[in-house]
Amino acid sequence: MPTDADLAAVERARALLGAMAERLAEAGARDEALAKHVEPKPLLGIPRRPTMRSLGRAWRLGALLVERDGSAWQTGISTRVAEPGRPQFHSASVEQRRAYRAAALQGRFPMGETVNHGVRRIPIDESLIGDPGPLFVEDGEALVRWGADAPVPLERYLDDLADLLLHPPQGA
């Protein structure tokens, strides 16, 4: 059963994400496309090419993608839209990346765009309490886990990553 402190932490997470979205929008921070990779069913028995369907735009903040309304997604796969080239029968991972570039072009994303797909929406509600994903609530605090590092308080995490997004290091 969720405690009052945990429920308050969920509300605080919602407020922090909303405030961060406003801050990034006001600063004109670079956002990225969100998409769903779609494998269309054959039409009259003729196979159709995979495509990517737009889900909107979001700012990449490490393990989180934050939309303008403050909603969040868990990062998935990131693809830069470029000419896919021809199959070269290299490693499976090289061919998979080529197929993702082709699907992004098929989805009419502009050249050079970064498209995030394989993403998962993170509901900002009491399901965050004890969630195994990157954003979770534990002991009355909203935390973010990214990779093997110890969880970080959400507020500090958002501030640090937003600072990098707004003021990238020289040469980045």
Look at residue 153 in the predicted model and tell me its pLDDT.
97
pLDDT band at 172 (very low <50, low <70, confident <90, very high): low
Look at residue 90 in the predicted model and tell me its pLDDT.
72
| Rounded average pLDDT over 63-74 | 97
- Structural domains counted in the chain: 1
- Residues in Cβ contact with 140 at an 8 Å cutoff, skipping those fewer than 6 apart: 3, 5, 6, 8, 9
Q: Average pLDDT over the chain, rounded to whole?
A: 92
Q: Which range among 8-22, 42-56, 68-82, 101-115 shows the weakest confidence by mean pLDDT?
A: 42-56
Could you tell me the pTM of the whole model? 0.89
Look at residue 45 in the predicted model and tell me its pLDDT.
84
Q: CA 86: distance to chain centroid?
A: 28
In-domain check, residue 37: yes
| Rounded average pLDDT over 34-46 | 89
In-domain check, residue 28: yes
SS (H, E, C) 151-169: CEEHHHHHHHHHHHHHCCC
* Residue 132 lies in domain: 4-166
pLDDT band at 93 (very low <50, low <70, confident <90, very high): confident
Higher pLDDT, residue 33 or 97 = 33
In-domain check, residue 172: no
The pair of structure tokens assigned to 113 is 């765009």
Pairing status of strand 114-117 against strand 135-138 = unpaired
pLDDT band at 8 (very low <50, low <70, confident <90, very high): very high
In-domain check, residue 91: yes
